[in-house]
Structure formats: structure tokens, C-alpha cells
Amino acid sequence: MLTIFETAEKGLATQEGSPALTDKVVWLDLNDPTAEETRWVEETLNVDVPTRAEQAEIEVSSRLYKQNGTDVMTATIMYQVFQPQPAVTTVTFMLAEDRLITLRYANPRAFEMCVDRARYENAPPSSGIVVLLLLLEAIIDRTADAIERIQGDVDALSHTIFEIRGRAVTKQRRLDEVLRSVGQQGDLAWRAGDSVHSLGRLMTFFAYTANERKVDKLLKTRIRTASRDVSSLSDHVNFLTDKIVFLLDAVLGMITIEQNNITKIFSVAAVIFLPPTTIASIYGMNFEHMPELDWFFGYPFALCLMVLCALGSYIYWKRKGWL
């Protein structure tokens, strides 16, 4: 779908009817476009719109470049922030003269936020670079929301891990559930980190582009502020990643302790029953000259001896703190 936005008295207005490149057009949004829509944009603005395969390339030179006077920037951004499983998508931003072209295959909330925010600007967006800045600010805000959500979930997990109580079976089951949760949070933190690092590279290229286009000082200041925000988000993601690794180590350590406790029980049981087994083995030998075999109290004596040996071993290990 191709949506064309024109500068209006109160922000941005959607162009109605057949697409036309008027003087007021500042933003052309290609959302999962058809081949005809892509061809119309390329022919009208003399640009080369990247294919979906080209969007997916990870080399910096394939994501940030200048082509025929058009600045092309591709970034990975998070969306569906408040859904159970936030997702990531690749978005391409193209500055062709004074117009912005966006290419996407998802519907991040930041695009709607950009249109809403444009209404509250001191002046209507007069160029594509202003619209791009508004859009990037909205994307950064949504990414920050995602990281804050991950932070809250990780803090809740931290309290859960160190407060697990109950019997061995219950603890083992809960530790397994927590381990899966830690893995999920690690995956989300990785996605957030990928998005933030991608935005950081894009902001560096965008700042260079703004200087090259000689934008006003106020716009440069906002770009620097957005870049600092991305940098702070990157630091926070690194902190989150370290904390998740710590929680993962803690959970694995607790699972190992529970497994060692089970192994210890079997080891102690084997030691406790070793003396009775020895006694039973001795009196189970088929020799003719064994005085206790003809003794009237031999059988009860052997049983009592085995019980006393087992009981003595149990008391010994109990005092040692193994049981």
C-alpha cells in the first residue's frame, strides 16, 4: 500500500485520490507495496527502491549509503512492544531531495505516532528530513518502552528466582519454568540490542546527512539529542544482558545444587546400607564351622546388628549435616 503525506496547516495530511507528486508532498510510505506502486515511486522520484532481499543484508555498506543523490538508511526496529512476544522488522528510509520515502513490511506503532506528533510541532513538517526526525524519535521512544518492559520482567524474574520455596519436586518444576522465562527474556534483550545498535549506526549516518544538507541548528540539536538517547539505550541493553546472564547462571547453579542433593541422598543411602550388607554377606557364606549358625539367638542377633549399624551410620551423617 502506498500512502502519501502532504504538509498541512496542522501537521501531515493524507493525500486523497490517485497518487500525485505535488509540491506539498513530504512523505511517501510504502507498506508492503505492490510492484506497480514501487515502480511508480521509482519512476516519479528517480530512485531505486531496495528489494526485500536487499533490505535483509546486514553489511553496513548495504544499509547506509548514498545513491544518485538519495540517502538510503535501513534499520531493524522492534514493534508490537506490549504483545507477549515483541517482533522485529526491517525498515528502509530514503531521503530523495526534500522528500522521505519509507519502505516496510509491518505496521509499527511508531508510524502512527509520527503522524500524531506532527500536529504538535511548532511548524508543519516542511521537508522529508523533518519527517524522518519525527519518525526516528517515535521509534526510539517505542524501543525505550520495549526495553523498560524487559527490565520490569527481568526484575520480577530476579525476585522469583531467589524466593523459590517448597519440596524438591516443586522447586525443580519451578526452576525449569524460570529457566525458560530467562531464555525468553534473553531473546527479547538480544532483539532490543540488535534494534538499538542498528538505530545507533543509522543516527550517525543521519547526522552526517543533516550536516551535508545544511539543516538549521535546532534540527541538528534534536538529532544530537536523539543520538544520545540511542546511546543511553545501548548502555541499558548491555546492563540488561549482563543481568540476564547472571540470572541464567544463578538458575543453572540452583538446578545443579538440587541435582547434587539428589545424588547425595543416594550416596548416603549406599553408605548407610553398606555395613548391614557386609554383615548379611558374612553370614550368608556356606562354611561348616560358623559358631553363630548353631546359636539359638544367632538370627535375631544378626538382624539387630544390621539395624544398629544402619542406625549408627544414619546418626553419624545426620550430625555431619549431610541429611
Q: Give per-residue pLDDT as tens, 235-292.
A: 888 888 888 888 888 888 877 777 777 777 777 777 777 777 777 777 777 666 677 6
The pTM (predicted TM-score) of the whole model is 0.77
Summarize pLDDT for 303-313 with one digit per residue, the tens.
787 788 778 77
Q: With bands split at pLDDT 50, 70 and 90, how would you rate the model's confidence at 166?
A: low
Domain of 154, CATH number, reads 3.30.460.20
Give 78-121 pLDDT, tens digit per residue. Answer: 888 777 777 888 889 998 888 888 898 888 888 888 888 888 77
Whether 310 and 254 map to the same domain: the answer is no
How many domains does the chain divide into?
2
Q: Kindly give the pairing relationship between strand 70-79 and strand 64-67.
A: antiparallel
Same-domain pairing of 207 and 243: yes
Cα–Cα distances (Å) from 40 to 48, 114, 187, in that order, read: 11, 24, 39
Residues 247 and 203 in one domain: yes
Q: In this structure, are 176 and 301 located in the same domain?
A: no
132 with 167, same domain? yes
Nine-digit cell at 206? 543521519
Q: Is residue 231 assigned to a domain?
A: yes
What lies within 8 Å, CB to CB, of 138 at 6+ separation is: 110, 111, 113, 114, 117
Cell of 187: 531473546
CA–CA distances in Å: residue 36 to residues 104, 185, 275: 16, 41, 87
Q: What is the CATH number of the domain that holds 316?
A: 1.20.58.340
Is residue 186 located within the same domain as residue 128? yes
Residue 267: inside a domain: no
157 and 99 within one domain: yes
262 with 168: CB under 8 angstroms?
A: yes
What pLDDT score was predicted for residue 287? 65
Q: In this predicted structure, what is the pLDDT of residue 184?
A: 82
